[in-house]
Amino acid sequence: MARKIQIFDTTLRDGEQAPGIHLSVREKLEIAEQLDKLNVDTIEAGFPISSHSDFNAVLEISKKIRNKNIAVLARAVPKDIDIAGEALVNAARPVIHTFISSSDIHLKYQFKKTKEEAIELAVDAVKRARKYTDTVEFSAMDATRSGRDYLCRMYEEVIKAGAKILNVPDTVGYALPEEYSGLIAYLLEHVKGIEDVIISTHCHNDLGLAVANSILAAQHGAGQIEVAVNGIGERAGNAALEEIAMIIDTRKDELGLYTDINLKEIMKTSTLVRHLTGYTVAPNKAIVGKHVFTHEAGIHQDGMLKNRTTYEIMKPEDIGSESSKLMLGKHSGRHAFVKRIKELGFDIKEEDIDKAFDRFKDLAEKKGEISDNDLKAILNNEIRDVEEYFKLKYYQVLNGSSIKATATIGIESQGIMIESASFGDGPVDASFKAIDALTAMKVELVDYAIEAVSEGKDAIGAVRIIVRSNGVEAMGRGISTDVIEASIKAYLDALNRIVIVKSE
């Protein structure tokens, strides 16, 4: 009989810790609602003590998501545990995930604790967490570089203290698959009371082995796998949710395992996380890359024409990805536009449809045909609830090899039209300086990234930037067939977000 593997999603906690990701409470809630549709078993909603935003996000997610475990992270520190408990006050199925390191290198150099002190702190943390919930998960950080006998002793003590889930993190992505799965098997054989708890995996991808380690560990007795959408997370990231789910489903007969993941929501979830985090997905990324179901070589095309299974082990429909030849353009009507966005799986508020349609028509005038990727970019980047304190009305740039770049910008602020011009090192820099003069905000550009979200000479460009102003960081996004316009929109989006944060 097949054995169920629980899926613990840490996109909103470990995933958001990836450099450059800044999610608002509303954006975290939007991802959590999609994870609910994807049907993960546990949503790790944040690290409440780390920021007010994380704390508030956990509160809001707990109110909205009632049929999933809502987990939060807490160090083995009394204040962390108490704040975690407060953040989960609204949760129907709360989980406190507490941790301390077990490896000699961490205890000596980072925690400066003896092994006995670490066990004592772990036990106290689990006992304190049990005051807030019956479901406590304990992680022995850097478990794969820890002594096995000591690791067994630490896990035995936290089981006695009431831990229901034991996480075995490969914190630095160091373990080889047989080594990691061997550790799981060793713990199951040598830890007293382990038969009454769930063994969880948390594998990082520093050596590209996170998915392999997780799958082999599940084969050796682990009952839960911790993942992140698109594999995002610290450094090289985590085991990718979509890869774990599809490996288990595609090879279920050989593995004897299954999950409750709603596979048809995979692509939609991947796309949402990609756009809200600003983290791109490589075109050859397993499962969700745009080239996964593309066949160019003649021999492959010949095989596909004769029988799909010659070169495809999955169908795009399996993960909610549809290949369509329908192309929308400037002559398309509103009905066709609405029909297509519904086919793509988007459920847009009625009041936002006109805004989306107008944006679609503007882009269609510039590039002729609009692809599905263009539509997704419009819907994910343009239809947002960020209040526009500064709204772009027009821009004009002058640039060339023998002249200094000049930008003239007109924006609307609180119903008033204001304009400014500035020189700069290129048209984008000149535009940003003109905006700075208009808004009177002292702004530092932290990061700037651009990508094409569709193909061809007239591809839509998506710009993601991070800015800092008086200690507040915000990420902004903008799209256009003109990278300068996309940059200006992204910059104004970030400034609007800073104004919102400062007004809260």
Residues present in the chain in total: 504
* Domain final position from 363, 381, 399: 381
User: What are the tens digits of pLDDT across the range 391-428?
Assistant: 899 999 999 888 999 999 999 988 899 999 999 999 99
Residue type present at position 64: K
CATH number for the domain spanning 408: value is 3.30.160.270
Q: How far is CA 428 from CA 313, 433, 435, 458, 493, in A?
A: 45, 9, 11, 19, 15
Q: What is the CA radius of gyration of the chain?
A: 25
Same domain membership, residue 449 and residue 351: no
Banded model confidence at residue 326, pLDDT cuts 50, 70, 90: very low
pLDDT at site 129: 98
At residue 293, the 3 state secondary structure works out as: coil
pLDDT at site 357: 81
Q: What is the dihedral of CA 108, 112, 117, 121, to 10 degrees?
A: -120
pLDDT at site 377: 67
289 falls within a domain: no
Q: What average pLDDT does the segment 150-157 reach?
A: 98
Same domain membership, residue 394 and residue 357: no
Residue type present at position 467: V
User: What are the tens digits of pLDDT across the range 440-481?
Assistant: 888 899 889 887 776 666 677 888 888 888 888 888 888 888
**Mean pLDDT rounded to a whole number for the chain:** 88
Q: Which residue has the higher pLDDT, 97 or 283?
A: 97
Locate all alpha helices (DSSP H) within 368-460, ordered by sequence. Answer: 372-381, 427-439
Contact, 207 vs 177, CB < 8 A? no
- Burial level of 306, CB count in 10 A (0-12/13-18/19+)? exposed
Separation CA 504–CA 499 (nearest Å): 9
285 falls within a domain: no
The token pair at 241 is 């949710």
Least confident range of 32-36, 361-365, 462-466: 361-365
Q: How far is CA 63 from CA 90, 244, 273, 284, in A?
A: 6, 28, 21, 38
Q: Which of 320, 349, 354, 321 is nearest to 337 (CA)?
A: 354
Separation CA 2–CA 390 (nearest Å): 56
Same domain membership, residue 141 and residue 52: yes
Q: Which of 126, 195, 117, 118 is nearest to 160 (CA)?
A: 126
Work out whether strand 416-424 and strand 403-413 pair parallel, antiparallel, or are unpaired.
antiparallel
Same domain membership, residue 353 and residue 413: no
225 falls within a domain: yes
- Distance between the two ends of the chain, CA-based, in angstroms? 53
Banded model confidence at residue 90, pLDDT cuts 50, 70, 90: very high
Separation CA 432–CA 196 (nearest Å): 59
Separation CA 48–CA 55 (nearest Å): 4
Contact, 36 vs 72, CB < 8 A? no
User: What are the tens digits of pLDDT across the range 247-272?
Assistant: 999 999 999 999 999 999 999 999 99
Separation CA 166–CA 184 (nearest Å): 11
Q: Which residue has the tokens 């029988």?
A: 307
Separation CA 292–CA 285 (nearest Å): 7
pLDDT for 324 beyond 80: no
Same domain membership, residue 479 and residue 410: yes
Same domain membership, residue 188 and residue 162: yes
28 falls within a domain: yes
* Domain final position from 247, 277, 307: 277
Banded model confidence at residue 499, pLDDT cuts 50, 70, 90: confident
Query: Running DSSP on this structure, what letter comes out for residue 88?
Result: T
Same domain membership, residue 350 and residue 417: no
Separation CA 170–CA 146 (nearest Å): 10
pLDDT for 36 beyond 80: yes
284 falls within a domain: no
Separation CA 487–CA 421 (nearest Å): 16
Separation CA 96–CA 78 (nearest Å): 12
Same domain membership, residue 210 and residue 119: yes
Q: What is the dihedral of CA 419, 421, 427, 430, to 10 degrees?
A: -110
pLDDT at site 387: 73
374 falls within a domain: yes
Q: For the chain, how many structural domains are there in total?
A: 3
Same domain membership, residue 252 and residue 324: no
Q: What average pLDDT does the segment 372-397 reach?
A: 75
Banded model confidence at residue 369, pLDDT cuts 50, 70, 90: low
Same domain membership, residue 480 and residue 366: no
292 falls within a domain: no
At residue 142, the 3 state secondary structure works out as: coil
DSSP secondary structure, 257-301, as one string? EE----GGGHHHHHHHHHHHH-----TT-TTTSTTTT---SHHHH
Q: What average pLDDT does the segment 45-53 reach?
A: 95
Its domain, for residue 400, covers 390-503
Banded model confidence at residue 313, pLDDT cuts 50, 70, 90: confident
Least confident range of 154-168, 313-327, 346-360, 405-419: 313-327
Residue 55 CA, distance from chain mean position: 18
Banded model confidence at residue 298, pLDDT cuts 50, 70, 90: very low
pLDDT at site 296: 37
Q: Of the spans 260-269, 315-324, 326-335, 408-417, which averages the highest pLDDT? A: 260-269
At residue 237, the 3 state secondary structure works out as: coil
139 falls within a domain: yes
pLDDT at site 157: 98
pLDDT for 294 beyond 80: no
Phi, psi of 331 (to 5 degrees): -90, -5
Same domain membership, residue 361 and residue 424: no
Separation CA 498–CA 492 (nearest Å): 10
Same domain membership, residue 396 and residue 360: no
Q: Which residue has the higher pLDDT, 203 or 293?
A: 203
Report which secondary-structure segment, H or E, holds 247: helix 241-250
Q: Which residue has the higher pLDDT, 388 or 25?
A: 25
The token pair at 414 is 């609180």
CATH number for the domain spanning 134: value is 3.20.20.70
The pTM assigned to this predicted structure is 0.76
Separation CA 500–CA 490 (nearest Å): 15
pLDDT for 330 beyond 90: no
* Domain final position from 334, 359, 381: 381
Least confident range of 153-157, 370-374, 483-487: 370-374
